Amino acid sequence: MKKAIISIKGFQSAQYSDEESFELVTDGEYSLEDGTAEFSYLESELTGYAGMRTTFVVKPGRVVLTRAGGLNGEMIFSEGRKHHFVYETTYGSLTMGIDTQSIKQELNEDGGNLEIHYAIDVDNIVMSRNSFKINVK
């Protein structure tokens, strides 16, 4: 893994509220081997996940996001498919669905861009529509 600067823009549109967004620019690590890109970074107080490591593993049509340290979790994004994941909170766990509409990735040995559009549901009721726009350099 080589050192990288990771920029993440996130957008969330919930049914009964205005669109929310966030932007994070942080130091991290990046690698590309055999068509699989991987990048990770340490979370901070600003994200609410201080001390945790977030890792993205990117393959054609599929992205796996994992968080480790404290509240662990994994989200699987597969274009056109729905996956379930356990969302850990300080109050307990919640099983949610993630329905990925699209994944666009332009990653090479120098970094690049990743864009994911997806919906989150609880009991098959869509709670929010979300997207990540990520740049790695």
What CATH number should be reported for the domain holding residue 42? 2.40.128.20
Q: Which pLDDT value is given to residue 28?
A: 98
Q: Quick one: which H or E segment has residue 127?
A: strand 125-136
Q: What's the pLDDT score for residue 136? A: 99
Contact 12, 5 (CB under 8 A): no
* Structural domain total, the chain: 1
Token pair 């593993």: residue: 57
The alpha carbon dihedral of 52, 132, 114, 63 has a sign of positive
CB atoms within 10 A of CB 73: 17
For 19, 40, 92, 94, 130, the CA distances from 112, given in Å and listed in that order, are: 26, 14, 36, 33, 21
Residues of the chain under the 70 pLDDT cut: none
Distances, alpha carbon 69 to alpha carbons 35, 42, 52, 85, 126, in Å = 27, 10, 5, 17, 28
- Distance CA(103)–CA(39), nearest Å, equals 16
**What is the residue range of 54's domain?**
2-136
pLDDT at 14: 92
Task: Give the pLDDT score at 53.
Answer: 96
